[in-house]
């Protein structure tokens, strides 16, 4: 049985976080609580390194921070929606949907597949809007898992 990439306990609707560091930490704490990340500091430092290399904000109000770490136990996506928006370096403004991708270190490129799948889906307006307007964490979790886990 494959672990679903995300579950409703990994989804934050209407985060109060205002910076990308704060929202990344908030989502990483969810991953730790779910047993998907064993060492939050090790994982956060990988995500921060990735953010320094290149901003992970993409067109359409999306942030996709991600990191690979030995402390990740299963490929996972934690999701936050933000009403105000959080700057992730995208040219068109702040992110209202944030997907934090966690992947175990190793040869397997599952995180790249997850990243690509999310990046492709969020290009579709109706997909973005459905997630952005969602009021139920379970809806977001089911939608992401269905779309990303083939």
Residues with active-site annotation:
66
> 112 near 148, Cβ under 8 Å?
no
Phi, psi of 41 (to 5 degrees): -70, -40
Q: H or E stretch including 11?
A: strand 11-12
Taking the C-alpha atoms of residue 9 and residue 11, their distance in angstroms, rounded to an integer, is 6
> 76 near 43, Cβ under 8 Å?
no
> 77 near 112, Cβ under 8 Å?
no
Taking the C-alpha atoms of residue 48 and residue 90, their distance in angstroms, rounded to an integer, is 16
DSSP-derived secondary structure letter, 66: E
Taking the C-alpha atoms of residue 118 and residue 77, their distance in angstroms, rounded to an integer, is 10
């Amino acid at each position: 049985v494959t672990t679903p990439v995300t579950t409703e306990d990994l989804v934050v609707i209407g985060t109060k976080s205002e910076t990308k560091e704060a929202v990344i930490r908030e989502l990483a704490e969810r991953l730790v609580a779910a047993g998907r990340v064993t060492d939050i500091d090790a994982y956060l430092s990988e995500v921060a390194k990735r953010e320094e290399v290149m901003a992970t904000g993409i067109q359409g109000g999306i942030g996709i921070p991600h990191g690979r770490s030995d402390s990740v136990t299963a490929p996972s996506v934690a999701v936050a929606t933000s009403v105000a928006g959080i700057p992730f370096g995208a040219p068109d403004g702040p992110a209202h949907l944030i997907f934090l991708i966690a992947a175990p270190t190793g040869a397997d490129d599952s995180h790249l597949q997850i990243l690509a799948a999310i990046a492709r889906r969020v290009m579709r307006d109706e997909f973005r809007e459905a997630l952005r307007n969602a009021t139920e964490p379970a809806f977001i979790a089911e939608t992401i898992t269905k779309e990303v886990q083939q």
